[in-house]
Each structure stands twice: as structure tokens, then as C-alpha cells.
Amino acid sequence: MTGTHVGIAQTVYPLENTIQHYDWGSPTRIHELLGQAPDGLPAAELWLGAHPNAPSVAQVPDGSRAALDALLRSDPQGMLGKRVSDEFGPRLPYLLKVLAADRALSLQVHPKPHLARAGFNRENRLGIPQDAPHRSFHDDQHKPEMLVAISQFEALAGFRNPRNIVSLLAGLQGPLVEAVREELALDRSARGIRAAFQRLIAARSDATCPEQVAATVDSVRARAAAGSPYERADATVLRLATEHPGDPGAIASLLLNRVTLDPGEAVYLPAGEIHAYLSGLGVEIMASSDNVLRAGLTSKHVDEKALFEAASFEPRPPAVPHQELTGSRGQAVTFRPPVREFALTLADVDDVEPVALAAAGPRTVICLDGTVELVTSGSRAKLAHGQSVFVAHDAGAASLEGSGLAVCAWIP
């Protein structure tokens, strides 16, 4: 990264970010973004932020490096601005990620604020170590999140209408499907969906669960071979059953909305929304939290009690965040979900017109393709693809020039 800084105080900080190596990640996509040779490990997420589990490292004027969370605490008003530091304290309230999934993530939900605080404090009182595999709450923050697709992106998000679930299950065999049908026949409201989903998750503890799942998967396979009217839903079940043999989460996918995002499209997942990302490359932004309550499609800890306390079972289509186009040709789109912690601008920068970014507060910018130049009143910094910077509140107004694709996380 190159740039000439003007003035006595640095306000734009080049970042080094942590790659998270989860088993569902792509072995190539994040490495390609960063211009690195693949190392054979699945690179699932690139974290850009100040979460204490993996804070970004900033380059500071004397040539040394500082963890971003510590840097923010050293000057909250200069780095974050008075409004943000007054509301959220001396911390960055969002976490930005590049997510690259080759396999399905766990079927999961994130807690609302009061449940995050209660769960975190409860596990602390019990003396459960922060890094214990059976811990559910890693901090006291809620975790609404939004994903913007960079490639075509596949996901499950929220519950289908009960009538549609019943249609999808028609003709399928096996005791788990029968249990779901039984619950929905009694109650087609959110209560019935909750009861049906609970029957599926509870089956994990039954020694015969793999056989029960296999019976339904076999009938889905037969329906697909005969020319299913539910081709995409059936293909999802078969794929999940291959990736996670014997896991009832494969059947649970039939209860959830199946989502395909084209590049530039987004989905918003409020705290409490059950979801699973299936495949693709996307930019994800969330409240700065690492709280994940899992229901299935995972070898990690499943906390059934906490999950059902946190989850919403209201049937509804996936939420699409509010979008605002800016620029004379609409070359930047800003996604504004209904949360205080974050917004995201996706900028298709060209050499005809600069793209203006949020003018105040902390901002995080990463170049995803091409080369862009971040311009403030006191600096110019070039970003090639994969390079990122933290822009302090004191930098003031900022814009992007050049030719490339970039995203900017900010606080509305």
C-alpha cells in the first residue's frame, strides 16, 4: 500500500487482518483476494475489526503495529467520534468480514441483547473458560448481521409459510417428517413451527437418528430422480445430508426459506433469525460479537435450550435491507438495516466520478477488486485488491477514486 500523509496526526491506518480457518471455508477464495498462495487450509473468514478474539492490527506512524482495539481505547473521541464513543463506549460496534463458504455453515441463531448479557454472565459465573468448546456465549453483545453477495451466494434464512412447508413434505417418508407433519397439523402458527423444529433438533440425541434421517433422505432422492416440483429444496437436502450424514438439520432445511443472492444483493438477519449460509463469497457485517447458538449441521456444541430461548419462529420471507443509490450513475449502493451499529456501502469506483463515503465516525474500507485510492483532507492511500484501512473519525470527509470494487463499513 502506498500513500502520502499530510499533517501531524495519522487518521488512516493500514490493516493486517486475521484469517479464520473453519472447515467449511474455501481453500482459495480469500487467498486469491489477498494475493497469497493457498496454504491448503480452508480459509473461511477474514476478520476486519476490533473484536478481542481477533482484532485487526494497524500500522502506526513510527512504523510499529498496534491492535486496533487498543488503538481505539487510546483515543476514543479522535478514533470513533464523540457520538459513537458516547453510545457504544471506546470500542468499534461492528465487525466486518469477508466470508468464503465451500460447504454449509452450521444451522444457527444469534442472541438478542438481554439474552447475550444473561448468557455471558451465567457462563462466567459457572467458570466456563472463554475458549471452552462447550461455551455458547463468548461476549455480552447481540449479533444482528447482514451479508452482501460478491459472487452468487446460497443460504437458508428464516421459516417458510407453514402451508408451503406441508406441501414440501408431502409424500416424504420417515418418522422425523411424520413428526413435523403432526405438529403442523395441530398448529400452523409460529408455535407449530417451533414444536416441529424442536422435534427435529431433539432427534439428535436418539441413537436411531441417522437411520431416521436416512429414511427421509432416501425419499427425497427418489422424488428428485422422478422429477421433483421442489428441485432446489430437494437438492439442498441431498447436499446437506452428504456434508453432514445423519444430521436432522438436512431435513430442517425444508422448513426454512431457500435464498439465492446474485452479486450485489443483500440479506439482513436480525438477532433471533435461524439461518445457515451454504456457499459463495460475500461481505458480512454484524454487531461486534462472536455469539453463535447452533442447531445442527455441525460437529461443534449445540445448546438446544439457549437456541430455543433466542430463536424466532415467525414465518416470514428473508429481510432485505433498505438501499440507497448515490453517484450520478448509481455507482455506489448503501445498505441500511434497522440497527444502530452498522451500515455498508458497496462502491463500484471508476475514473469518471469519485465515490463519497460517510463523512464522520469510524470507517473500515477494503478493496475487493482493481485499485482504488482513499482520499481525505490529510491523506491519499492506494488500496490494491485485498488491502484494507481503518479511517478514524478525525479524518473527516473521505472518498474513493480509481477503478475497482470496494466496501466501506460505517455507523449510521
Q: What angle do CA 203, 205, 210 make, to 5 degrees?
A: 65
d(C-alpha 340, C-alpha 367), whole Å: 24
Question: Is there a contact between 376 and 308 (Cβ–Cβ < 8 Å)?
Answer: no
Task: Report helix, strand or coil for 242.
Answer: helix
Residue entry with cell 439465492: 260
Q: Which three cell numbers stand for residue 23?
A: 472447515
Euclidean distance between CA atoms 394 and 377, whole angstroms: 10
Q: Alpha-carbon distance 397 to 349, whole Å? A: 17
The DSSP bridge partners found for residue 370 are 404
Q: What angle do CA 237, 150, 404 make, to 5 degrees?
A: 170
Q: Which of 318, 243, 296 is nearest to 109 (CA)?
A: 296
Residues serving a catalytic function are 294
Looking up cell 490493516 gives 15
- Tell me how far apart the alpha carbons of residues 26 and 282 are, in angstroms, rounded to a whole number: 12
Q: How many Å apart are CA 172 and CA 142, to the nearest integer?
A: 37
The contacts of residue 43 (CB under 8 Å, 6+ apart) are 19, 20, 21, 25, 26, 27, 28, 29, 30, 31, 100
Which ranges in 226-351 belong to alpha helices (H)? Answer: 231-243, 249-252, 304-310
Q: Report yes or no: 361 and 81 within 8 Å, Cβ to Cβ.
A: yes
